Structure 1
Amino acid sequence: MTIRNPGSRRGRGASTAAGVLLLLSLAGCGAGTTGTPDAGSAPSISSSPSATASAVPTPAQAPVAPPPVAPAAAPQLQVLGASAPATLSIPSIGVRTDLLHLGLEENGSLQVPQDSGHGAPAGWYNGSPTPGERGPAVLLGHVNALGGATGVFANLRKLTPGAEINVSRTDGSTAVFTVDRGALYSKNDFPTLEVYGNTPGAELRLITCDGYDAATGLFDDNYVIYAKLKA
């Protein structure tokens, strides 16, 4: 199973990419003239001795604009503190697995769980937030296993919106997520920023292979489940 490089810890790589796009979109902002607009000529006051102060018209006083009201800050979504994941449970599709901790290969791609012949457990990418922290925690699993058996994530496509996903953590807590949606992506057109980019709340990504090509013996796609921490 080949997964695209998600970037560095806690989505910083994706955040940087988003920042570059933002800078490009704002490159034309703020352009304009630098001169001072014409304020008009000062009124002429007669120096004649016959002129009196009452002859000088009093300009109308401009209304005072009220101070701008700052927009209300968006409420921060509740998240959990950092704690490494231990097990994953998805009751609706009968999944319960220990979680490996996976890093990156030398070529920058994600490591994948190794199947020793009895099926491989799922794994948490240790460059992503821990499940329950703010941002997208990334869990990987095989769709098949050696000998033609099914993999731990073989039934991800059966997950429907609202299904619960439970991740027990080493601090004794359990992060409970609800499925938002699933999406199929070609490995040649994988949306790195959408999958691994920073999020305002705690989210989860379950990723496996899909699109088996019998002619090549390879999987051409990835299937991704998007889930959010249950309020």
Structure 2
Amino acid sequence: MRIKNPGHHGGVLAAVVAGILLLLPLAGCANAPNGPAPTASVPATGASSAPAAPSPATAAPPSGPPVAPATAQLPVMAASAPVSLSIPSIGLRTDLLHQGLRENGSLDVPPTAAGAPASWYNGSPAPGERGPAVMLGHVNALGGAKGVFADLRKLTPGSEINVSRTDGSIAVFTVDRGAVYSKNEFPTLEVYGNTDGAELRLITCDGYDPATGLFDDNYVIYAKLKV
């Protein structure tokens, strides 16, 4: 897996407005052991259309200087680095590595050995802070074993994800949806873009091709802080 130049802590895509491509999809996983990843799916939610603006005949005339509408701020937690991740519905518990960038600008990723933990990208917000906290894990492992994120596809909307933090608190997230993306058409802004509240992204490989022994896709779980 390789990600280039993921940006800075506190907002993974804060510099996109400057025209910088900060984050690319996971580029690879360990070779698949004996077949593809699990095939159960999580339905994606649809997007609603924006309301139409009032016509000139019915719009009220301005009574003074324009005022920007207030933006509601969702409640978040103070910064505290994650220690472990647990998802009771699929029996997952893993300690979390804290990994950043390699010298070549690519993102360091967890080892591929059986039982290897998942990792938190320490350039993303801490889980519970405003913005998308990013965690990576393999779907499979060397030697034919399951990877730590092998069962992400079994998650359904509403499933809880618990992240224990160094300050002793637990950030509880609920799954919103899961989605599969081709590595050649990965929606960088949708996955890593800044958010109004505290969110979580769990990312692994998907789309095993037995002809090549490679994974062509990524699978992403979107979750939001439970408040």
> Which range is displaced more, 213-222 or 130-139?
213-222
1:85 is matched with 82
Report how far residue 158 of structure 1 moved. Answer: 0.9
Distance 1:188 1:168 in 2: 34
* 1:34 aligned residue: none
For 1:122, the equivalent position in structure 2 comes to 118
Of Structure 1 and Structure 2, which has the larger fraction of its residues in helix? 1
TM-score (normalizing by structure 2)? 0.75
Q: Is the 8 A contact 2:12 2:123 kept in 1?
A: no
Alignment: residue pair count: 187
How far does residue 107 in structure 1 lie from its aligned partner after superposition? Answer: 3.4
Alignment match, 2:94: 97
Q: Which has the higher Rg, Structure 1 or Structure 2?
A: 1
Where does residue 209 of structure 2 map in the other structure? 213
Is contact 2:12–2:124 with CA below 8 Å preserved after alignment? no
Matches within 5 A, 1:1-231: 2-5=1-4, 7-10=6-9, 12=11, 14-18=13-17, 20=19, 66-67=63-64, 70=67, 72-116=69-113, 118-231=114-227
TM-score by length of 1: 0.74
- Aligned-residue RMSD, C-alpha: 2.2
Quick one: distance in 2 between partners of 1:17 and 1:70?
26
Tell me the secondary structure at the aligned position of residue 98 of structure 1.
Answer: strand
Q: Could you say which structure has the greater relative contact order, defined with CA pairs below 8 angstroms and 6 or more residues apart?
A: 2
Q: Matched residues in 2 for 1:20 and 1:72: separation?
A: 26
Segments of structure 1 that go 5 or more residues without pairing to the other structure are 22-64
Q: Distance in 1 between matches of 2:194 and 2:4?
A: 15
Instruction: Show structure 2 runs of 5+ residues with no match.
Output: 21-61
- Matches of 2:212 and 2:110 in 1, distance apart? 22
Match of 2:13, SS state, is: helix
